Amino acid sequence: MNNQLSDVLLGEGPVAWSDVVSVARLGARLELSAYRWWRVEEARAAVLDMAHSSTPSYGINTGLGALCNVVLAPDELTKLSRHTLMSHACGVGAPLRVEQVRAIMCCAVVNYSHGYSGVGGGVVRGLLSLLNHGITPVVPGQGSVGYLSHMAHIALALIGVGDVEYAGQRIPASQALASIDMQPVELGPKDGLCLVNGTPAMTGLACLTLADSYQLASCADVVASMSFEALSGQLNAISHAAIQRKSHAGMQKTMANMHQLLTGSEVVARSQGDHLQDALSVRSIPQVHGACRDQLEHAARQITDELNSTTDNPLVVKEGSTYRIISQANPHGESVAMACDLLAMAVCEWSSISERRSYRLVTPQANKLPPFLTLDGGVKSGMMIAQYSAASLVADNKRLAMPAVTDNFLTSGLQEDHLSLGESAALKLDKAIENAFYVLAIEYMLVSQAFDYIDMKLFGQGTGRAWALLRERVKSYAEEHPLHLDIRRTYEVLRDVKTLFTLRSALPNFDL
């Protein structure tokens, strides 16, 4: 992993979603402070006392779910933890990406470190060792209604079962553990339940989508400003006089970004007054992008709150000098699921309005550009069909914007009869974001082609730079190679965080 990054140290303060991204995506080491270790170990001591008591304590000396009334003997508790992992590892389908599994592992450690889980220190040390050595369990991506399946597959690696990805290869977990001189974790009371419990899976997945959504928000403002310029946008629509009459913070950010990006544009100046009013996809950029930004901020608050919450059942809570077990529903992922579902709607809207601008860029009745952005219409189709691709992706995003959280099933007999589907919400959001980046890439490619055909090359200080950045990687299209290659290259430019940082260097107040 990348040893140049600063460690992420879990101390007494709150954990940021960006800390999870640093560990999961960038390879930062994760460590616990002495304070967090003390919290883990004190709660564990309480669990061990309860495990040898005749008083039923759910998940510590009883069965799970609908079997919560079955009291187990002390010598059965280790077996319970192992059997829990085996029976709950029911995932199917293509595996999650490495960064997704790492995000889940990171959030699991954060959850345990709050000190209310009662998990064994060996489990926490094991997860830290896997993370910091770059050993990633292979986790099937489908088959979880809330959190159980993904967590169980991760936990199998701790006991040397299943496969992992390590040093670019898929190998047995037992082999990977041996290569770093790590013994399989010995599970004790409540360990199995802790390992499949809580909301770390959906929270970890959601943290990654936040990082991608913030990048999408910034890229959308850049590309939309280019289209505003190419389509002869009227500045009144994005004026302070208009936008400041609405108090939404996201609108103000997008307006400010557009003003910076378009500063100095002679193309925009020349087009003022040549028509009365633009189409909504052009004049409502601050309103639509701003509403999406506001929803992103809401989702970030919800997910950060979840990250800094204890989400096990049961909780091991100290009251005075003694601990007690509290059975409750903190593992219910309603907050994360709803945040992801609502953010998926915002992502769909970013992509939807982008496709509408792409349509206007290739439609001769809607602009003053060469039809379909080619000078050889007839023998060439230009970029007509790229807009078809954008429309298809937006249609997919409309389906992905349908909420997962409102669905429900009965599981575990009659015991678990309301589900969040939080992991499903986070995973469909992840797919929607990828689609949205492709839709935005198509608009970026089209508007750059439009810039090629605009005689006056005095573009805005930001829009002109964005055009030049793409042309460094993707040349003007002349139909000498399949167009999908340019779409892919443009997508890669947008996904590369260096693109935004390059723009930021020229626009010091641009909001990333």
Element (H, E) at 257: helix 249-262
- Report which secondary-structure segment, H or E, holds 166: strand 163-166
Question: Which SS3 state, helix, strand or coil, does residue 310 take?
Answer: coil
- Using CA atoms, how far apart are residues 474 and 486, in angstroms rounded to an integer? 6
Strand runs labelled E in 297-398? 315-319, 322-326
User: How many C-beta atoms surround the C-beta of residue 133 within 10 A?
Assistant: 17
- How would you write the pLDDT of the chain (512 residues) with one tens digit per residue? 444 578 999 999 999 999 999 999 999 999 999 999 999 999 999 999 888 877 887 778 887 666 777 778 777 888 889 998 999 999 999 999 999 999 999 999 999 999 999 999 999 999 999 999 999 999 999 988 777 889 999 999 999 999 999 999 999 999 999 999 999 999 999 999 999 989 999 999 999 999 999 999 999 999 999 999 999 999 999 999 999 999 999 999 999 999 999 999 999 999 999 999 999 999 999 999 999 999 999 999 999 999 999 999 889 999 988 888 898 889 999 999 999 999 999 999 999 999 999 999 999 999 999 999 998 878 888 899 999 999 999 999 999 999 988 887 767 666 677 778 898 999 999 999 999 999 999 999 999 999 999 988 899 999 999 999 999 999 999 999 999 999 999 999 999 989 888 888 878 778 76
Global pTM reads: 0.94
Tokens representing residue 505 in the block: 């260097």
Q: What percent of the chain has pLDDT over 90?
A: 78
Q: How far apart are CA 319 and CA 321, in angstroms?
A: 6
What does the pLDDT look like over 436-493, one tens digit per residue? 999 999 999 999 999 999 988 899 999 999 999 999 999 999 999 999 999 999 999 9
Q: Under 8 Å CB-to-CB from 303, ≥6 apart: which residues?
A: 17, 203, 206, 207, 210, 336, 339
Which region holds residue 165: left if phi is over 0, alpha if psi is between -120 and 50, else beta? beta
CATH of the structural domain 8-197, one choice from 3.20.20.70, 1.10.510.10, 1.10.275.10, 1.10.10.10: 1.10.275.10
Separation in Å, CA 485 to CA 328, 395, 441, 445, 494: 52, 22, 12, 11, 15
Under 8 Å between Cβ of 200 and 147: yes
Q: Do domains 8-197 and 206-506 have the same CATH topology?
A: no
- What is the Cα–Cα distance from 286 to 465, expressed in whole angstroms? 21
CATH of the domain spanning 206-506: 1.20.200.10
Distance separating alpha carbons of residues 497 and 505, to the nearest angstrom: 13
**CB count in 10 Å sphere of residue 261:** 29
Helices (H) and strands (E) in the chain, counts: 20, 9
User: So what's the pLDDT on residue 321?
Assistant: 86
Nearest-angstrom CA–CA distance, 296 and 299: 5
**Close Cβ partners of 411 (under 8 Å, ≥ 6 residues apart):** 145, 417, 419
Label residues 155-193 b or e (16+ Cβ within 10 Å = b). bbbbbbbbbbbbeeeeeebbebbeeeebebbebbbbbbb
The region, left, alpha or beta by phi > 0 then psi within -120 to 50, assigned to residue 11 is: beta
Map out the domains of the chain as residue ranges: 8-197, 206-506
